[in-house]
Amino acid sequence: MNVKKISQTAMAALVAATFLVGGLAVLPTVQAADGADRPAIEQRHKINPEQMAEHIATTFSLNKDTVLQYYNNGTSFKDIRHAAFLAKAGNLSLDTVLQTKTDSNSWQDVAQTLKISPQQIKATRIDLQANHLTKAGLDKQAALDLLNQGYHPRDIACANQLSKDTGKSITDVLFYKKINNTWQDVATTLGVSPEQFKQEMKNLKGSFPHHGGFHHRGTDRIAY
């Protein structure tokens, strides 16, 4: 993505150039698009732009059409996700974050430039993970409590499912998970058949789209 850093004067002009189309705020985009610079994975897997834009918009409380506007003008969904995460963490606009990203800096550099602290990043990630865990039927506050105790989102989701199967509390189920066993082992110990557990895990993964939180990669990473 060739996102160019601009001066305060240019930024003011950019904001002033914002216009309305059918009641929708359309932001002037960062770069003209030909699709050539987008990550190969987006082209190889033929990502559905409408579905991906809807997912990002829902996750980060953005306008779907604004997300599509950036994408159609050359910004990859990967970069939009990065920017949306930092915008949420720093209570900033998506445009402000994208304008700070250049070819010569990293997303960590962007966070530092915008004075977004590691604490804000961690809190935002945990909040987003808790939102995703509610898709598995977990109360958000309960999810936040467990995440803040250091439990892995996937472990919480699995424990929640086995809690439903067995009538045990989530904390009781988590007690059975050790470093040297698997969730299949826990399910067997609790009397849940391998076939039932396998199907439940398949259904559970379907509730967590790629990058959506089921495959957790650390609470302190910038990327979401």
Q: Provide the number of structural domains found in the chain.
A: 2
Which domain, by its residues, includes 83? Answer: 8-115
* Cα gap 147→155, rounded to integer Å: 10
Q: How confident is the model at residue 161 (pLDDT cuts 50, 70, 90)?
A: very high
Residue 127 burial class via C-beta count within 10 angstroms: exposed 0-12, middle 13-18, buried 19 and up: middle
186 vs 4, more confident: 186
Q: What percent of the chain has pLDDT over 90?
A: 66
Asked whether residue 73 falls in the same domain as residue 51, the answer is yes
pLDDT for residue 136:
85
* Domain presence at residue 215: no
| C-alpha–C-alpha distance, residues 76 and 82, integer Å | 10
Quote the pLDDT of residue 42. 55
Q: Do 60 and 30 have their domain in common?
A: yes
Q: What is the pLDDT of residue 43?
A: 56
Q: Is residue 214 part of a domain?
A: no
Q: For residues 16 and 111, state if they share a domain.
A: yes
Residue 169 carries which DSSP code? -
Q: Are residues 200 and 166 in the same domain?
A: yes
Query: Do 197 and 128 belong to one domain?
Result: yes
Residue 106 has pLDDT above 50, yes or no: yes
The answer to whether position 219 is within a domain reads no
Residue 32 covered by a domain = yes
138 and 94 housed in the same domain: no
> Same domain for 87 and 126?
no
pLDDT at 204: 83
- Residues 124, 85, single domain; the answer is no
Distance (Å, whole) CA 80 – CA 72: 12
Q: What is the pLDDT of residues 17-42, one digit of tens each?
A: 222 222 223 333 333 334 445 555 55
Q: Cα–chain-centroid distance for residue 34?
A: 26
Reply yes or no on whether the pLDDT at 155 is more than 90: yes
| Same domain for 42 and 133 | no
Q: Evaluate whether residue 217 is within a structural domain.
A: no
Last residue in a domain, options 95, 115, 135: 115
Q: Is there a single domain that holds both residue 75 and residue 60?
A: yes
Does residue 218 form part of some domain?
Answer: no
Residue 104 inside a domain? The answer is yes
Give the 3-state secondary structure of residue 86.
helix
Residues 182 and 92 both lie in one domain: no
How does the average pLDDT of the chain come out, rounded? 78
Cα separation, 160 vs 110, in Å, equals 36
Distance CA 124, CA 120 (A): 6
- Same domain as 162, residue 76: no
Among residues 115, 143, 168, the one where a domain terminates is 115
Arithmetic mean of pLDDT, 154-162: 95
The residue from 92, 115, 138 where one domain ends is 115
